Amino acid sequence: MFPPFELALFGADAVPGGSSALARVSRGAPPFLIAHGDSDRVVPAKESAALHEALGRVGVASTLTYLAAAGHEDPAFDRSECHAMTAAWLRSILLAEGAGG
């Protein structure tokens, strides 16, 4: 997940299991909210879809949403409607966990 310059910040030469989030998918993972800009030219949308599908296969709750016309690290992720979506997702997860779910 980390590019080489970020690995150096953590004092690491490599990430065990490779840099792909897919290499870390397991039944014990927490719920995921994956938001991907549909105009991202850095990370292909198919990578988010693959992560979402892999999480589902091991029974981890995962929500995938695409932000229209948003690129990688796009300001669209900071819009109030995106924050509201994230807050609603967090509430649903926390309330489900509080109810024993």
Q: Could you give the CA distance from residue 74 to residue 47 in angstroms, rounded to a whole number?
A: 17
Residue 3 is assigned to a structural domain of this protein? no
Number of domains composing the chain: 1
* Gap between the Cα atoms of 75 and 95, Å rounded: 29
In a domain, 15, yes or no: no
- Is residue 57 in some structural domain? yes
Q: Is 36 exposed, middle or buried (0-12, 13-18, 19+ CB in 10 A)?
A: buried
Q: Please, are residues 14 and 7 in contact by the beta-carbon 8 Å criterion?
A: yes
Residue 16: pLDDT band by 50, 70, 90 thresholds?
low
The pLDDT tens digits of the residues spanning 22-53 come to 888 999 999 999 999 999 999 999 999 999 99
**Three-class DSSP category at 13:** coil
- Provide the residue range defining the domain that includes 46: 27-98
pTM above 0.85? no
Amino acid (one-letter) located at 53: E
